[in-house]
Structure 1
Amino acid sequence: MSGPTVEQLADVAERTGRLIAGITPDQWRDPTPCVEWDVRALVAHVVGGNAVFAAALSGETVQPDGYPDSVAPLLAAFGAAGALERVVDVPFGTVPATVALHLRLADLMVHGWDLARATGQHAEYPDDVVEQALEFSRSALPLVRSDRSPFAPSQAVDDDAPALDRLAAFLGRKVS
């Protein structure tokens, strides 16, 4: 499995930002595939996740004002000299920073998929990055204690489904 890069994170964050920018004013209260969250709550979760991971790597509390404000500190934290050689505390536990980077990439792409589904947009992420996230998720998810897993059980999806649909289904989304 190839390792994640900060450049991949920047690209995925930018693509997710386009989905967020495409939300119309009347869609913020619409339901999402994450049944506990409407569009507004899902975006808040993504922004909060960016802040949590940025703080975990930088040691500095980040309080972003919206999605674009949450991306710069996230990229700076992961891109800092030596950052990817560290061990950090994230919601899943204490992990190498490269694992945290994998987690953030997968989270942004799956929640981008959620937002696209909820708002009638199309999520587009590079297939190689999605496949990397899927491979990582398949190897890492069985190691997460069931009481710490935020994911629903994996859902069935055709093997020839698009990579992003396979990732979303693996992490509990109903794709059909």
Structure 2
Amino acid sequence: MELRGEPADIVALDRAAVLESVRLVGEARPGDWRRPTPCDRWTLRELVAHMAAQHHAFATAARGEGAGARAERGERAGATAERGERAGATAERGERAGATAERGERAGAAARRPPDPWDDPAGAYRSAAGTVLDAFARPGTTDRPFVLPEISARTVPGHRAIGFHFIDYVVHAWDVAATLGLRVLLPEPVLRAALPIALAVPGGEARRAPDSAFRPALPPDPGRRSAPSAGEPTGSDGSGTLSLILTCLGRHPGWTPPDTR
């Protein structure tokens, strides 16, 4: 997948898309989280949870903490646990002290447990977005290989990985906007940068898989044979660059939520 422009530009482009998605998610009200979305079988709450999880996964990869690093941390944690077992055997002789320690452990685990993102989906999403933006902004990130098992069995160059993230959040921003009946407010230069990436996403049967990020491309508007001129509108009304991005990735630009009454 080729990106136009300097690799560093992709960080700024991605930031624009992510911040727009944060703005749109922030518009959701308590009664909106059960709304259906353009993503098959996902409610808005489930879509936003997925978006947040992807931010954390990409942030982990950007920091160089891929599968190997996780395995190494797991080994260290296992060694620590083994030492803890030996210490536990000693502590078991003091039954009363052990019971007190156990209650302390449960209290400590409860204190360390992260807040449930379902309690505040917009807040959890905003936090996740900040995490990935901070990770991408670190010097050298575009040159660092990313470990992204969901995308490739091999490492992915940083600028290309961020390009994947960028196009994903241009589309997810629209998913949220369409669900809420809002308009995506991404500048035309951002959308024009996203279009060649969208066109380069591989097609084929893989897009029909249930867990595919994108569906098979839809037929283009028969009246359009090229990218729109700079003066054309963009949005969810079926015209402009955003519409071309959506159709080539299997989204219907005119999608509206079904009547759930």
What percentage of residue pairs aligned between the two structures are identical? 29
Aligned residues: 175
2:42 maps to 37
Shift of 1:72: 2.1
Could you list the structure 1 runs, at least 4 aligned residues long, displaced by more than 3 angstroms after superposition.
142-149
Tell me the alpha carbon deviations over residues 91-113 of structure 1, each in whole angstroms, 9 at most, x when there is no partner: 21131111111111111110111
1:168 maps to 246
1:70 maps to 128
Tell me the alpha carbon deviations over residues 67-126 of structure 1, each in whole angstroms, 9 at most, x when there is no partner: 111122211221212111111122211311111111111111101111111111111112
Shift of 1:13: 1.5
| Alignment RMSD (CA, Å) | 2.4
One-letter code aligned to 1:89: V
Question: Are the aligned partners of 1:112 and 1:123 in contact in 2 as well (CA < 8 Å)?
Answer: yes
After superposing the two structures, state which structure 1 stretch, 115-124 or 85-94, moved more.
Answer: 85-94
Question: Are the aligned partners of 2:64 and 2:147 in contact in 1 as well (CA < 8 Å)?
Answer: no
Provide TM-score, normalisation by structure 2.
0.61
One-letter code aligned to 1:166: L
Cα distance in 1 for partners of 2:132, 2:19 equals 12
For CA contacts below 8 A with separation 6 or more, give which structure has more relative contact order.
2
Provide TM-score, normalisation by structure 1.
0.88
After superposing the two structures, state which structure 1 stretch, 21-30 or 134-143, moved more.
Answer: 134-143
Cα distance in 1 for partners of 2:218, 2:200 equals 17
One-letter code aligned to 1:129: V
Cα distance in 2 for partners of 1:14, 1:140 equals 23
Shift of 1:11: 2.1
Cα distance in 2 for partners of 1:24, 1:98 equals 35
Shift of 1:2: 1.9
SS at match of 2:202: helix
After superposing the two structures, state which structure 1 stretch, 159-168 or 29-38, moved more.
Answer: 159-168
Cα distance in 2 for partners of 1:99, 1:23 equals 31
Rg bigger for which structure?
2
Describe the shift of the 1:39–1:149 C-alpha distance in structure 2 as closer, same or farther (beyond 3 A).
Answer: closer
1:2 has 2:63 as partner: no
Question: Are the aligned partners of 2:64 and 2:146 in contact in 1 as well (CA < 8 Å)?
Answer: no
Question: Are the aligned partners of 1:106 and 1:130 in contact in 2 as well (CA < 8 Å)?
Answer: no
One-letter code aligned to 1:74: V
Tell me the alpha carbon deviations over residues 27-67 of structure 1, each in whole angstroms, 9 at most, x when there is no partner: 11011111221100111111111111000111458x89511
Question: Are the aligned partners of 1:157 and 1:175 in contact in 2 as well (CA < 8 Å)?
Answer: no
Cα distance in 2 for partners of 1:89, 1:78 equals 14
